[in-house]
A and B are shown apart, each in its own frame.
Chain A
Amino acid sequence: MSLLLKNISLPLADFVLQVDVELAGQVTAIFGPSGAGKTSLLDLIAGLRRPERALIQLEQRVLTDTARGLALPPRERQIGYVPQDLALFPHLPVRKNLLYGCKTPAPRDGLFSYEHVAAVLEIGPLAGRGVTELSGGEKQRVALARALLTSPRLLLLDEPLAGLDAALKARIIPYLARVRDEFQVPMLYVSHDRQEIQALCDEVMELERGQVLPRAKEKA
């Protein structure tokens, strides 16, 4: 992956988020305390917030360039986003949640087809259920599958295991590893948990009060 985050500047309540890095890992962890600007950075990359200044480029594709007044809308960015609260649509059953952004026919030789994604994440039997009937771990897998079904070029995972107990985390981490290995989609993975990061990530970027810490961008 090559994700260029250049001259990023976004004023937040207590500080200005300022990032100037190029990320190359397959799974890059964004590590840091609460309120460091991690979610805001993901929102910027997804196009959900407007930066004061930014050049965001994924591979050869410019997503945001404030100098040229360019900002692709979120629907054109091909970025899958699993937010911390998962944001599964509560009025739609699991199947309709999954198919909301599903492309047909599935690109890349069916790699991102409904059947294949459902099989990898073992969510086939959940399709007929309501979102509120799912357990915490099932919700995580459905949210991940929904984002994958858009055949994204980049996956943003915002503390996907937050709020789960240690036993459930241990059961979900292999699914994330399976997604990493099977779909080969680059990921930005926000987490507080060093164990999760060690299990899944090959690069770490540490943020504190909106600044990338020196020497914090390192191999995990």
Chain B
Amino acid sequence: MSQEWQIVWFTAWVSALSTLLILPAGLAAAWLLARHDWRGKSLVETLIMLPLVMPPVATGLILLKVLGRRGVLGGFMHDKFHLDLAFTWRAVLAAQAVMSFPLLVMFARTAFAGVNPRFEQIARTLGAGEWRVFFSITVPLAWRGIVGGMILAFARALGEFGATIMVAGNIPGRTATLSLSIYESVQLGRDAAAFRLLGIAVVLAFAAVWLGGWFLRQRRV
């Protein structure tokens, strides 16, 4: 496999993994925001949305402080399991997860809010507990929005740059992603390689956004 395809493959699988990783917490947060009111809800909501509006390098710096060897999580993982987080593929995964989390929550929340609560209430009168209601009524009725949100989160992860370069660097064969490699190719004057990677990035991003839009356009049941 050429180095370019290796970069594309690495970016794609880490992005897919980060999307799957944020799914449980993303759905839980979206459901809590859509269905419940509690003290501090607006604060949590703002915190979740913060990576969308903050400079990505600032988010990356925070991640570096947390995941580095002197960071809370990075130090713990290094001391206990001899596992490094910063400047490894795990840091790429963390950066992508943090940066795409708000998108998933935003879309899933809208999807949950669109489910008529009467269906859930009647399911309860039919003997269903909360987990059964969630998985048999809420999620199936909101699935288009959830899948649309997952696809857009995946697309966001594919294109992640600022936070990734801060916390994972751009190490060939270890942490180099599509975005980082395009930047590096331009910096080194390798225009042909940059444009080949650019073409792949455009195709991937177009496919992801189009698929996401297609899911959202489907008729609601």
Contact = CB atoms under 8 A, between A and B. Distances in A.
Interface of A: 43, 46-48, 73-75, 77, 79-81, 83, 85, 87, 89-91, 100-101, 103, 132, 146-147, 150
A46 B126 CA distance: 11
A91 B116 contact: no
Q: Which of B125, B129, B137 has the most CB of A within 10 A?
A: B125
B141 A74 contact: no
A85 B117 CA distance: 12
Interface residues of B, number: 17
Contacts, number: 55
B136 to A, nearest CB: 8
Given A89-B137, A90-B221, A74 B125 contact: yes
Contact of B125 (A80, A90, A132): A80
Q: Dominant SS at the A interface?
A: loop
A101 B116 contact: no
Interface string B136-180: 110011000000000000000000000000000000000000000
B124 A83 contact: no
Nearest to A74: B124
A91 B142 CA distance: 11
Given A87-B116, A89-B137, A77 B221 contact: no
Interface string B118-134: 11011111111100000
B119 A89 contact: yes
A34 B3 CA distance: 70
B118 A75 contact: no
Given A90-B141, A90-B221, A75 B124 contact: yes
Q: Dominant SS at the B interface?
A: helix
B159 to A, nearest CB: 33
Given A75-B128, A83-B118, A100 B123 contact: yes
A13 B136 CA distance: 32
Contact of A87 (B119, B127, B221): B119
B128 A87 contact: no
Interface in B103-120: 116, 118-119
26 contacts: A43-B121, A46-B125, A47-B124, A48-B121, A48-B125, A73-B124, A74-B125, A75-B124, A75-B125, A75-B129, A80-B125, A81-B125, A83-B122, A87-B116, A87-B119, A91-B141, A91-B221, A100-B123, A100-B128, A100-B136, A101-B125, A101-B126, A101-B127, A101-B128, A146-B126, A147-B125
B127 A150 contact: yes
A132 B221 CA distance: 9
Contacts of B122: 81, 83, 87
Contacts of A89: 119, 123, 137
Contacts of A87: 116, 118-119, 121-122
A185 to B, nearest CB: 14
Given A75-B124, A87-B121, A147-B126, 17 more contacts: A46-B121, A46-B125, A48-B124, A48-B125, A74-B121, A75-B129, A80-B125, A81-B125, A87-B116, A87-B122, A89-B119, A89-B123, A91-B141, A91-B221, A100-B123, A100-B128, A100-B136
A87 B137 CA distance: 11
Given A48-B121, A83-B118, A85-B118, A91 B127 contact: no
A89 B197 CA distance: 46
Contacts of A47: 124-125
A81 B122 CA distance: 7
B221 to A, nearest CB: 4
